[in-house]
Amino acid sequence: MPHTSATSARPAGAALRRLRRLTRTATVTAVATLALAVASLAAPHAALAEGADNRDAFRNLGSADQQDWMGKVGAATPLTAMSIPGTHETLALHGGSSAQTQQDFGDSAATLTAQLDRGIRAVDIRVRIINDKFVIHHGTYYQNANFDDVLTKARAFLSAHRGETLLMRLRAECDGSIGSCSDDHPTASHTALFDAYVKQYAGLFYNNGKRSDPPTLGQARGKIVLSVFNADNGGSYGLNGFSDHTEDTWNATDAPAKWSLVSKNLAAAGSAPANQTFVTYTSASRAPFNLVPSEYAGGYSVLRGKDLVWVDGVNVRLMNHLNNDTANRRLGIVMMDYPGWALVHNIIARNRYYEARNTSPAIWLVKSDKTYVDSKYGRCMTRGPQFDSSGQGGVVQQRACQSNPPSSHQWQAAYPSTFDSQGYYWIKAANGQCLTVPWNNGTPPSAGMELFWWPCETRWISDNQMWNIMPTNLANQSAFRFINKWTNLCLMVDPATASQSGGKVVLGNCPA
């Protein structure tokens, strides 16, 4: 691998050789306070393989073993930054193959409970008004459930699993057109009826369903979050920005065409700022005269010449994509027809970077005063003594944090502007120089190597100055791991010198 020239990035002295060129991965940005901004979380691990074939991806939600997966995720995690499995037309069980979209676990919203137990956390509820009550419909077909069933089942689940939340899209299903239904002479609007349900089920809806910015998981726990209300005057309800990045082409020509749209939106979710909501519907239908929902999801055969050829559905294509995606990026909210357990498990697993962890010398709190504080020992990373009178570089150390930190205690993540850093960041000291891994004669150093501050290489990407910033949660507060691109090791306080003023800051093995 090429490296920077000896004249551009090496201090004098045999012990101080360094600098290295870089390659790939994506990150979560941080400027000043390192707030979450970019969600292309490229993991330094293998893909999270789940499932082997169509039986694991289609019409098979598996065992009820995912009741508490959100409870492991840190409370400070924004819902927008998460990967959340959901179902399209959540309770569409009746009306034949043209109308059914989900595996049937029973009426009166028993299917909702089954989905929640198996990890689904985003639902799509379609309602018709009869006798000034919401009943569940898909088009003209009544789905043997009403909105009270939905809310009763959701409340029971959230009461039993307090670490969870449920995102709900609510849609007025009937518009009176051909093939649709008509509301039965309502005396109140959809929004007025919804408000009555909110009052009846007091405390169940986050912010009473009214318009707000997307909450953190901690704010939403134990509640239904109304994400969008598709009804007259529904714009004053739901979450700001929820529909800004949505793929919902319901009439794609065939499964390959739908998959092309799905994969494009998932890729966009993986590289966009984490405060942007992405919603991807994997569902489609051209019923009753062409492909039905189960065929888009599960696959179908077509006659090509004299041969009957199998066409994979969207679900197995998604499963294979997730299993082969070594970056394990954020997916956003994925709304599926007939999901299999492998899809749900793989989407859930994308949130492991947000799971709350114990303190570690390799997990850092980033404060508003630009100090980087090690979570294990509470020590601040500092710019230590320079190598010589030129001021071109020095050692990185740790010292006790100060209430009014000097500039030598301050650092900031910065995105290079003179080259494509492929999602990696500099960590810059207040004097403008970069956190650097020693060159080590061109061999990536092992854990324990002491780190330097050194002039930033601005002409090209240098692996030993590039850091992947990974969000981590510690007891409901945001924290970060800083993973060096060249070595795949983490920035950490040296445990052996942690009690010493001027102790070492080194490379170390990243916490699991």
What is residue 48's predicted lDDT score, i.e. its pLDDT? 55
Q: Please tell me the class of the 54-349 domain.
A: alpha beta
For residue 147, CA distances in Å to 127, 136, 199, 237 come to 8, 7, 14, 17
Share of the chain above pLDDT 70, in %: 90
What is residue 475's predicted lDDT score, i.e. its pLDDT? 64
Q: How confident is the model at residue 181 (pLDDT cuts 50, 70, 90)?
A: very high
What is residue 328's predicted lDDT score, i.e. its pLDDT? 77
Q: Summarize pLDDT for 197-238 with one digit per residue, the tens.
A: 999 999 999 999 999 999 999 899 999 999 999 999 999 999
Residue 99 scores a pLDDT above 70: yes
Share of the chain above pLDDT 90, in %: 78
Highest mean pLDDT of the ranges 243-257, 262-276, 349-363: 243-257
CATH topology match: 6-34+357-508 vs 54-349: no
Count the neighbouring beta carbons within 10 Å of the beta carbon of residue 403: 5
Return the ∠ at Cα 91 (arms to 89 and 95), rounded to 5°: 90
106-110, 354-358, 386-390, 472-476: range with lowest mean pLDDT: 472-476
Greatest Cα-to-Cα distance within the chain, rounded to the nearest angstrom: 87
Residue 458 scores a pLDDT above 60: yes
Q: Pick 401 or 10 by higher pLDDT.
A: 401
What is residue 19's predicted lDDT score, i.e. its pLDDT? 29
Residue 14 scores a pLDDT above 50: no
What is residue 476's predicted lDDT score, i.e. its pLDDT? 58
What is residue 326's predicted lDDT score, i.e. its pLDDT? 72
Q: Pick 461 or 125 by higher pLDDT.
A: 125
For residue 340, CA distances in Å to 166, 324, 346 come to 19, 17, 10
Q: Summarize pLDDT for 260-286 with one digit per residue, the tens.
A: 999 999 999 998 888 999 999 999 999
Residue 384 scores a pLDDT above 80: yes
What is residue 176's predicted lDDT score, i.e. its pLDDT? 80
Q: Pick 315 or 16 by higher pLDDT.
A: 315
Identify the bridge partners of residue 471 per DSSP, sorted by sequence position: 480
What is residue 364's predicted lDDT score, i.e. its pLDDT? 95
Q: How confident is the model at residue 45 (pLDDT cuts 50, 70, 90)?
A: very low
Q: How confident is the model at residue 423 (pLDDT cuts 50, 70, 90)?
A: confident
Q: How confident is the model at residue 185 (pLDDT cuts 50, 70, 90)?
A: confident
Q: What is the CATH number of domain 6-34+357-508?
A: 2.80.10.50
Residue 11 scores a pLDDT above 60: no
What is residue 353's predicted lDDT score, i.e. its pLDDT? 77
Helix 255-271, helix 314-324: angle, nearest 10: 40
Identify the bridge partners of residue 225 per DSSP, sorted by sequence position: 167
Q: Pick 373 or 22 by higher pLDDT.
A: 373
Residue 12 scores a pLDDT above 70: no
Count the neighbouring beta carbons within 10 Å of the beta carbon of residue 442: 11
> Which residues in 93-114 are b (16+ Cβ under 10 Å) and which e?
bbbeebbbbbbebeebbbbbbb
Residue 433 scores a pLDDT above 50: yes
d(CA 167, CA 153) in angstroms, rounded, equals: 14
Indicate the domain borders of the chain.
6-34+357-508, 54-349
Q: Pick 100 or 3 by higher pLDDT.
A: 100
Q: Summarize pLDDT for 115-159 with one digit per residue, the tens.
A: 999 999 999 999 999 999 999 999 999 999 999 999 999 999 999
> Which residues in 198-233 are b (16+ Cβ under 10 Å) and which e?
beebeebbbbebeebebbbbebbbbbbbbbbbbbee
Name the average pLDDT for the chain. Answer: 89
- CB under 8 Å to 96, separation ≥6 — which residues? none
Residue 20 scores a pLDDT above 60: no
Q: How confident is the model at residue 398 (pLDDT cuts 50, 70, 90)?
A: very high
